[in-house]
Amino acid sequence: MLKRYRSPWSALAVMTAVFTAIVALTLLQASAVLAADAPATATPAATPAAKPAKPAKPAKVRAPEKSRAEQIAEDGLWAKNTNWLSVRAGYAKSKATGAGDGLVGYGLAYQHMINKRWAFGGSVNHDLLGHFGRSYEASVPFTLEFTRHYKWKTAVRPYVGFGGGYYFHKYYRTASDNTGAPGAGYFISLGTNLPLDDRHLLGLDTRVSFVDGRDGVINPVFGPEESSSTLWTVKLNWSLAY
């Protein structure tokens, strides 16, 4: 049997307390439901670890240059900084139209070995290109050249070269006023060298030169000159190395 309250205020206080408790319980249940339905907070992705730095490459150290004695022992007369002083003599011929029979040529040459393969040098030659009786045609070339030497498994070493310079062209005993004229020219060469001992070489030098001429000039013995002429020389070469 329900207990009777003596005062209406007491009953009101009880009802208020009960109502407050019900509201509080309802709010707690609603908060729990909302928390369960809320999406989970995304965990931030881990920062990828930085790649380790590549180790620095060691600096290339250039091997020290071999001594002069070591270079000579390995490369002989073709060693770097070796100089050759040469004398040469042989056959010379002009291929121009109307040229005379080929004669002789001779000259001096100097060569410096830049390394064991390449050399730079110069030469002065006097080539009697042809003759008719007592009349002669001559060329005096002053040239510079580069030469590429090749090492074979033999004592003989071949070479090829190229160069150019000033070619002085002259006639002798032709009764012509136009007895000489300079002209530019260039050449290619091919030859071989054989060491005789530790200071001397014997070689063969073949050279083809292409020289500017004087178009329109007519010599009474050798005929009209051409705008360009081809000269051939084949010479034995003796060299002193130092």
pLDDT recorded at residue 62: 80
In a domain, 31, yes or no: no
- Kindly report the CATH number assigned to the domain that includes residue 131: 2.40.160.20
235 vs 28: CA distance, rounded Å: 119
pLDDT recorded at residue 11: 58
In a domain, 14, yes or no: no
pLDDT recorded at residue 166: 96
- Domain enclosing residue 98, as ranges: 71-241
pLDDT recorded at residue 3: 47
pLDDT recorded at residue 39: 56
In a domain, 212, yes or no: yes
Q: What is the mean pLDDT of each run of 10 residues along the chain (242 residues)?
A: 50 65 66 58 62 78 82 92 98 90 95 97 96 92 98 95 96 79 93 97 98 86 88 98 96
In a domain, 195, yes or no: yes
What is the count of structural domains for the chain? 1
**b/e map 169-205, b = 16+ CB within 10 Å:** bbbeebeeeeeeeebebbbebebbbebeeeeebebbb
In a domain, 236, yes or no: yes
Other Cβ atoms within 10 Å of 87 Cβ, number? 14
In a domain, 2, yes or no: no
pLDDT recorded at residue 202: 98
In a domain, 119, yes or no: yes
Other Cβ atoms within 10 Å of 52 Cβ, number? 6
Overall pTM surpassing 0.95 (yes/no): no
In a domain, 24, yes or no: no
